[in-house]
Amino acid sequence: MRRTFLALAALAASAAPAFAAPTIATPVAPWEASFEGGICRMQRAFETSGQPHLLILEQNAPSRALGIALAGPSLGGLDENAPLRVTLAASDAGFEKRARIDPNRQFGHVAILNGVWLADDVSEEGGNFGRIDLDAAQFVQRISVSQGGKDVIFDTGPLADAALVLNECTAQMLRSWGLDPDQQYTLQQRAQPVDPAKLAKEMQKSYPRGAARGLRSGPLEVVALIDAKGGVRECRIIAASQWADLDAATCTTLTKARYVPARDAEGRPVASYWRTRVTFLATPRDADRLLD
């Protein structure tokens, strides 16, 4: 019996997954700030075993969320069809997040995470609207992504200084839109479509007939600047698709819609903005329908 137990124990041990030691990238340069193409960006060079890595934090509109890009040969082998486990501290249980994994000529691979909050509370209602939470950013120890026994750690230390620069950049973005940052940060109510379901249907119908021939698809992000009466005074593409006609059709549809205006700290209607992401996914059936 003991011999059988030992044999089973040995079999179980051999079948257990092998977890390699984590790859730890350490910073080799200070943070660098940039504002190109309407994007607020902080980037920093890292290195592990003599191999260059890069970390980018960015925002294309004011938000508590930010985009994170991790680049380096250590990211090779990650599967974008499965979620990554992301942790921000050694004691952090983390969260699952899907990433876009792309090859990169300079760094080998890049993993892109969209819409990451540094705080547990992901609500953007009430106080601190439109800004990264600096207290949460100060408690970040690292940005780690893991999957299937592979663990890559960017040893960032606290991110409060980088987050502060991003907040200052997006505040300036608000001013360029004709909005008061302090007012936007303390809204009681955000601007939003009067009828989201109707707007979604109109967006589907807005797919250009000419785009059907090439089955043009793609995501884009857009901001509608809403006045105090709920009308759109301007539509801005903040992350363009690769097709100008899809971008234009999106803005045309959003501009025709009606919105519930934002309300300031005293409950008065004020000008603000509404941000959304639109993804066009064209199929041969769509082409047949539109070109018939």
For residue 283, what pLDDT is reported? Answer: 59
Mean pLDDT by groups of 10 residues along the chain of 292 residues: 38 49 96 92 96 97 94 94 94 92 93 89 57 95 94 97 97 96 94 94 80 71 96 94 87 95 96 90 52 40
Q: Are residues 208 and 167 in the same domain?
A: no
Report how many domains make up the chain: 2
Would you tell me how many other CB atoms lie within 10 Å of the CB of residue 36? 7
| In a domain? residue 257 | yes
Q: Within this chain, do residues 16 and 106 fall inside the same structural domain, yes or no?
A: yes
- 94 and 173 assigned to the same domain: yes
If asked whether residues 197 and 173 sit together in one domain, one would say no
CB count, 10 Å around CB of 26?
13
CATH number at residue 198: 3.30.2420.10
The amino acid at 237 = I
Q: Are residues 20 and 151 in the same domain?
A: yes
Residues 168, 283, single domain; the answer is: no
The pLDDT score that the predictor gives to residue 199 is 93
Q: What local confidence, expressed as pLDDT, does residue 290 receive?
A: 39
Is residue 186 within 8 Å of residue 248, measured between CB atoms?
no
Nearest to residue 276, comparing CAs of 237, 243, 232, 244? 237
What is the pLDDT, as a whole number, of residue 220? 85
Residues 171 and 214 in one domain: no
- What pLDDT is recorded for position 219? 83
Q: Are residues 256 and 149 in the same domain?
A: no
Residue at 241 is within a domain: yes
The domain of 132 spans 12-177
Does residue 197 sit within a domain? yes
Give dist(CA 275, CA 179) in Å, integer. Answer: 14
pLDDT value for 128: 58
Dihedral sign, Cα of residue 34, residue 36, residue 38, residue 41: negative
Going by C-beta distance under 8 Å and a sequence separation of 6 or more, which residues neighbour residue 70?
53, 54, 55, 110, 111, 113, 143, 145, 152, 154
pLDDT at 121: 58
What's the pTM value of the predicted model, to 2 decimals? 0.83
> What local confidence, expressed as pLDDT, does residue 9 receive?
37
